[in-house]
Homo-oligomer: A and B are copies of this chain.
């Protein structure tokens, strides 16, 4: 049975392109056909122009990297010089940046094709919801705020996609959409040209349909310093299973996924320990919220002053300090986060990967929410690299992921551990999906 080009993973497509077995035009046309089939239901994109898409393929030069000819969807929080960038905000309706964001420029320089801009929660923060539906079931959210980027890869209209994470905006939609998602170590990829939300948390992240896909972006955007060595055979790794604070909010399927993950890792011969984090980590999700909201006070002031009537209450509240986040509590939150970062790196350095619940459960059955980031907040505020792995399912057969993290800057090791875990989970890649529910 041969696959359509869009059904390949990005890493498979790269190999096929390099071997001359796949033409970037055929791949582009396959993604566009898939778009025509899916988009009315999935609504992943805020902007998609077939001609612009194909034009980029046409002007491809020599092969500069493994990204050559791969269609990559970009969250509409990230500036693009040839496509409108609207942040899902009426203030920026039809806004056309005059410069690509750093990550977009990097991808284009390396031969990546920007397939379109993807829908997001307004300013990746609140306000207006994304229109995107979950490709597994259209009455369920795809998660957020990188809703469209996750759905585009899950449905197969793009081979890879770029999102942003401040709380849980990459790993949560990856879990809900049953794909692979990665947030690298804070600061390891430039977020210049992405709209600001939280100056010390905002991170560029990405989605793919295999660990190798995630690695493609990590390597080429230089979040890692040398090519990762994703072994195709078993290498024994040390994993820790970590129960997260607030785990009373996890549904059975999320708990089951973590339990099953542990069993499968053991079954594959990996070392698995239970890890309890010190008491000071219990309030880290609150520390993340304090920093995010406290910094949001600053980030939305310009829109507040210039376009008050077009700004959603969420953002007015941030600017007006209605959460009562004092400078003192913000400073304390910074110090708490910094202490835990150092402590976590020490604890986690005994392991190749720390595995935890990926989300409270399957994607909520609603388009009026993008779900709860409670289980991502801690990893975001710790600045650690984090990957969401698929392969587990809950109610209605909908996916639920597990997260795997490592100490700061151990992105390369984490990718290797995630690759081993995906083999143990018997889910090294996922196929594009479109369920007509």
Chain A residues proximal to chain B, CB less than 8 Å: 95-100, 102-103, 105-106, 108-110, 185, 187-192, 195-196, 199-200, 221-222, 225, 295, 297-299, 301-302, 305-306, 321, 327-328, 330-331, 334-335, 338-339, 341-342, 345, 407-409
Contacts and interface: CB of A to CB of B under 8 A. Distances in A.
A192 B295 CA distance: 12
Contacts of A298: 187-190, 222
Contacts of A100: 302
Given A97-B98, A106-B302, A109-B306, 5 more contacts: A97-B99, A105-B306, A222-B297, A225-B321, A335-B341
B187 A102 contact: no
A113 B10 CA distance: 50
30 contacts: A95-B99, A96-B98, A97-B99, A98-B98, A100-B302, A102-B299, A102-B301, A103-B302, A105-B302, A105-B305, A105-B306, A109-B302, A109-B305, A110-B305, A185-B327, A187-B199, A187-B200, A187-B298, A189-B298, A190-B196, A192-B195, A192-B302, A222-B297, A222-B301, A327-B409, A330-B409, A331-B407, A334-B408, A338-B339, A338-B341
Given A335-B342, A345-B331, A192 B200 contact: no
Given A99-B95, A331-B345, A299 B192 contact: yes
Q: Tell which of A192, A196, A306 has the most Cβ of chain B within 10 Å.
A: A192
A238 to B, nearest CB: 20
Contacts of A102: 196, 299, 301-302
A427 to B, nearest CB: 29
A200 B191 CA distance: 12
A301 B106 contact: yes
Contacts of A103: 302
Contact of A409 (B97, B200, B328, B338): B328
A344 to B, nearest CB: 11
A108 B305 CA distance: 9
A196 B187 CA distance: 11
B341 A334 contact: yes
A225 B327 contact: yes
A99 B94 CA distance: 12
A190 B302 contact: yes
A338 B191 CA distance: 22
A99 B222 CA distance: 28
Contacts of A409: 327-328, 330-331
A140 B109 CA distance: 41
Contacts of A408: 327, 331, 334
Q: Tell which of A185, A327, A339 has the most Cβ of chain B within 10 Å.
A: A327
A190 B338 contact: no
- Closest 3 A-B residue pairs measured CB to CB? A338-B338, A327-B409, A109-B305
A288 to B, nearest CB: 15
Contacts of A190: 196, 199, 298-299, 301-302
Contacts of A189: 298
A338 to B, nearest CB: 3
Nearest to A330: B409
Contacts of A191: 196, 199
A220 B397 CA distance: 53
Contacts of A187: 199-200, 295, 298
